Amino acid sequence: MKRTVPVDSASAFIASSSIDQKIKELGDWRGKTLAKVREIIHAADPEIVEEWKWAKATSPGTPVFSHGGIVCTGETYKNAVKMTFAKGAALKDPSGLFNSSLEGNVRRAIDIHEGEKVDEVALKNLIRAAVALNLKGKSLKGKSKVKSK
């Protein structure tokens, strides 16, 4: 299945290619799960930009999905695909998707294990809420704190 990813720069193209490569390299349920999560993210917000961040000699880096700031990451581990929401603690999660990193003051995460089905509607709502929070923060920065009479 061919998917359109907004590519605003060469780095976004490299990120998209890197995520494609990561999915291919995994070649198991984690790759399929990361691909499904990626599809859900783009369905929730077609303006999401894919980035590849924090690569260094000891780490290959992490897929990052952004719009107005980081929305979430898509990390893969031996037993889970982890979606970490940068501002997850500030998001309402009525469906109870967050099941990891619950003790933090800022981040929240969703660990998806082999065989688990993702609640696509709830995840799309969470992604949209994260984008709205990012964009709200951006619009507040541009406003003056001084009120005129």
Query: What does the pLDDT look like over 61-93, one tens digit per residue?
Result: 899 999 999 999 999 999 999 999 999 999 999
Give me the mean pLDDT over the 104-114 stretch: 96
**Quick one: which of 108, 104, 102, 101 has its CA closest to 130?**
108
Examine residue 115 and state whether it is found in any structural domain, yes or no. yes
Examine residue 146 and state whether it is found in any structural domain, yes or no. no
Residue in this structure with the two tokens 């981040």, named with its chain if needed: 107
User: For the chain, what is the domain count?
Assistant: 1
**Share of residues in the chain with pLDDT > 90 (%):** 65
Range of lowest pLDDT (10-24, 27-41, 87-101, 110-124): 10-24
Residue in this structure with the two tokens 């065989």, named with its chain if needed: 115
Instruction: Please name the residues in contact with 2: beta carbons below 8 A apart, sequence gap of 6 or more.
Output: none
**Share of residues in the chain with pLDDT > 70 (%):** 82
Residue in this structure with the two tokens 């993210």, named with its chain if needed: 41
pLDDT beyond 60 at 13: no
- pTM value? 0.82
Domain that holds residue 33: 10-138
Alpha-carbon distance 63 to 84, whole Å? 11
Give me the mean pLDDT over the 108-120 stretch: 97
Alpha-carbon distance 77 to 30, whole Å? 8
pLDDT beyond 70 at 141: no
Examine residue 120 and state whether it is found in any structural domain, yes or no. yes
Mean pLDDT (the chain, rounded): 86
Examine residue 145 and state whether it is found in any structural domain, yes or no. no
pLDDT on residue 57: 87
pLDDT beyond 80 at 142: no
pLDDT on residue 58: 87
Output the domain CATH number for residue 40: 3.90.1150.200
Examine residue 86 and state whether it is found in any structural domain, yes or no. yes
pLDDT beyond 90 at 7: no
Examine residue 1 and state whether it is found in any structural domain, yes or no. no
Examine residue 4 and state whether it is found in any structural domain, yes or no. no
pLDDT on residue 2: 39
